[in-house]
A and B are shown apart, each in its own frame.
Chain A
């Protein structure tokens, strides 16, 4: 294998038996509009925090949906709640409220 420069990656699939999606479900209930997200990435394009870091609201949402909590907690802390993302979302998702609620998730999510 080595000669071709390939590497075998560690499996990154979410183990559904290991994660608890109930907290995310409660956020979905509060921010109803989240259900409408089509993952277009407009929010990421205008993001204030994203301009100076690897932060990306679209990716952050994915992390939440997939239950990647430890990365999520680190990522969502970068959002400045400036509210620009919600002005451009074509699906009227209240991304700022979503980030606020994700920030509010219990500390147990932290690594």
Chain B
């Protein structure tokens, strides 16, 4: 027997799911610009494919990054993904041995125990490991069920998982979730009742079957349970494309796009749409997002922001409140480009057709063959102490430099870019870029992390870009500057625009470590000070809460000096923390005298 009516719900669901997923994949491919399509076709036969497949196994099945984040959560996701995947693979192998056919209908392995109640040992198995498949199939089922138990615990209280927040779902999500959760218990019961009636089954289904059939009329029950099992599978498959479970196929597509699409892929519509679908709503980002944890807007966190995007709602508040601090992006186990996704959503909300009425840039000095061009940054002009210290450092070092914005400058364009106004930012970029390159310098020194990030990511200058923290460290290493050793209590605030993993951020940490004359640990915060230009939330009301939370994480006392390396951080923290706030350059120069 190879067919029964009850396989229909599953089969219909599966066919529908395949059609929808293939259509989505096709849509993402078609939308790519021709150049990227070419790149993609070109890379299919390269190493990229091997890397992509490895990442799919590592992240899609094993969930390595999620494990690193949170072991329980990692185990839960892995047991579902890997367990289910292996059930399918092993089920296929098993059914092949039983049926002798080369091609089985897709439902056959899924419902094998209904069609074959074979209690004898297969000749093949005798020669290998007796009862291998029966054991392994039951073991895998148990593996998935253990994940399910964890999932139930997580719903009842996320604190079990060390998470402070867990995601909330809408109605369709809940129906899909219920059908997913029912699939495996129903499979267990269907197989157990069948084993209770006809024998067979492994350590789990066989023993459960015996117990159940002793108490219940198994011969009447096993058939309805196969129906229920098939039905829950069908419902889940049909709902999958419209719920967060779309992340299962989308994550695969996202990884492939990442590996095949080349560097320009991150700017394409397909990449954004696919990334948006690839979010599993695991909730890891909720605990990292300061706006969600300490601010006024919990739904700013990517998990909810993406949920709204998927529903076709570009909500202004949550699109604009994000600080673009990137903490969520560093933590996201799927590796979604969350900052760019937010910017992309902002671009949709911003009027693009009104160009910047860009004021004339001050006439630039002629080529002076200097080594270093110093661009303090417009914000740095609001912190004259930093300017003064950097100037002294430059003078003491004896390096030939040109101060490009001694009389001020236009903005680097990053604040503009962060509001979603790409074309206007381009105007500023072009102006500054020309002025910088005209000096012919080899090194560009800047004091503002916002400029630093912008110069590195968007200017394509092909000269070395250095933040003053890095610059001072280099001078200190070359013995061109003497670092003080301090007695006072210090705390370090790393500006988020410095990019937590950049050379400048590392240099800042090293430098501050060298300032201390005793071995005392310096508390450090990588939270955003709340003043980020990435946010378009109301500056002073939101900032206060965020800043207080950030400075509380490193110090509560008034006698602690907070060190930072950003004019905006300095201004913001100074306003909301108890102790004084100083730029690293000030600290170094203050004590040198």
Query: Knowing A82-B378, A84-B378, A104-B350 touch, does A52 contact B357 (C-beta < 8 A)?
Result: no
**Is B152 an interface residue, CB under 8 A from the partner?**
no
Which residues of chain B have C-beta atoms less than 8 A from A81's C-beta? 411, 415-416, 419, 421, 533
Query: Knowing A77-B356, A77-B357 touch, does A87 contact B410 (C-beta < 8 A)?
Result: no
Q: What is the interface size of chain A, counting residues whose CB is below 8 A from a CB of the partner?
A: 32
**Is B523 an interface residue, CB under 8 A from the partner?**
no
Query: Knowing A32-B538, A94-B538 touch, does A84 contact B379 (C-beta < 8 A)?
Result: yes
Query: Knowing A48-B410, A51-B408 touch, does A80 contact B416 (C-beta < 8 A)?
Result: yes
Bound form: Cα–Cα A88–B513 in Å: 33
In whole Å, how far is B20's beta carbon from the nearest beta carbon of chain A? Answer: 37
Q: In the complex, which residues 87-108 of chain A have their Cβ closer than 8 Å to any Cβ of chain B?
A: 87-88, 92, 94, 96-97, 100, 103-104, 107
Contact B419 A46 (CB under 8 A): no
Which residues of chain A have C-beta atoms less than 8 A from B409's C-beta? 48
**Is A9 an interface residue, CB under 8 A from the partner?**
no
Bound form: Cα–Cα A103–B361 in Å: 22
Query: Knowing A48-B378, A92-B540 touch, does A82 contact B411 (C-beta < 8 A)?
Result: yes
Per-position 1/0 for B409-436, Cβ under 8 A of A: 1110101100101000000100000000
Q: In the complex, which residues 21-75 of chain A have their Cβ closer than 8 Å to any Cβ of chain B?
A: 31-33, 46, 48-49, 51-53, 55, 73-75
Bound form: Cα–Cα A97–B540 in Å: 11
Which residues of chain B have C-beta atoms less than 8 A from A77's C-beta? 354-357
Most buried by B among A52, A82, A87: A82
Which residues of chain B have C-beta atoms less than 8 A from A51's C-beta? 359, 408
In whole Å, how far is B24's beta carbon from the nearest beta carbon of chain A? Answer: 33
Contact A48 B408 (CB under 8 A): yes
- Across the interface, A107 reaches (CB within 8 A) one of B353, B410, B419, B572, namely B353
Which residues of chain B have C-beta atoms less than 8 A from A73's C-beta? 354
Contact A78 B378 (CB under 8 A): no
Which residues of chain B have C-beta atoms less than 8 A from A94's C-beta? 538-540
Which residues of chain A have C-beta atoms less than 8 A from B358's C-beta? 78
- Across the interface, A82 reaches (CB within 8 A) one of B350, B353, B415, namely B415
In whole Å, how far is B164's beta carbon from the nearest beta carbon of chain A? Answer: 29
Contact A80 B415 (CB under 8 A): yes
Query: Knowing A77-B355, A94-B539, A94-B540 touch, does A52 contact B419 (C-beta < 8 A)?
Result: no
In whole Å, how far is B471's beta carbon from the nearest beta carbon of chain A? Answer: 23
Contact A104 B359 (CB under 8 A): no
In whole Å, how far is B62's beta carbon from the nearest beta carbon of chain A? Answer: 43
In whole Å, how far is A55's beta carbon from the nearest beta carbon of chain B? Answer: 7
Contact A88 B361 (CB under 8 A): no
- Across the interface, A100 reaches (CB within 8 A) one of B410, B536, B540, namely B536
**Is B382 an interface residue, CB under 8 A from the partner?**
yes
**Is B571 an interface residue, CB under 8 A from the partner?**
yes
Which residues of chain B have C-beta atoms less than 8 A from A31's C-beta? 538
In whole Å, how far is A99's beta carbon from the nearest beta carbon of chain B? Answer: 10
Residue ID in chain A nearest B361 by CB atoms = A52
Which residues of chain B have C-beta atoms less than 8 A from A104's C-beta? 350-351
Which residues of chain B have C-beta atoms less than 8 A from A103's C-beta? 351, 354, 421
Which residues of chain A have C-beta atoms less than 8 A from B415's C-beta? 80-83, 96
In whole Å, how far is A58's beta carbon from the nearest beta carbon of chain B? Answer: 17
- Can you sample 12 A-B contacts with CB below 8 Å? A31-B538, A51-B408, A52-B410, A78-B356, A80-B411, A81-B411, A84-B379, A84-B382, A87-B571, A96-B533, A100-B419, A107-B351
Interface residues of B (CB under 8 A from A): 350-351, 353-362, 378-379, 381-382, 408-411, 413, 415-416, 419, 421, 428, 533, 536-541, 568, 571-572
Q: A48-B408, A83-B415, A87-B568 are in contact. List 5 more A-B contacts (CB 8 A).
A: A31-B538, A33-B538, A80-B416, A86-B540, A94-B539
Interface residues of A (CB under 8 A from B): 31-33, 46, 48-49, 51-53, 55, 73-75, 77-78, 80-84, 86-88, 92, 94, 96-97, 100, 103-104, 107, 110
Closest 8 CB pairs of A and B: A53-B359, A77-B357, A82-B411, A52-B359, A80-B411, A92-B540, A94-B539, A48-B378
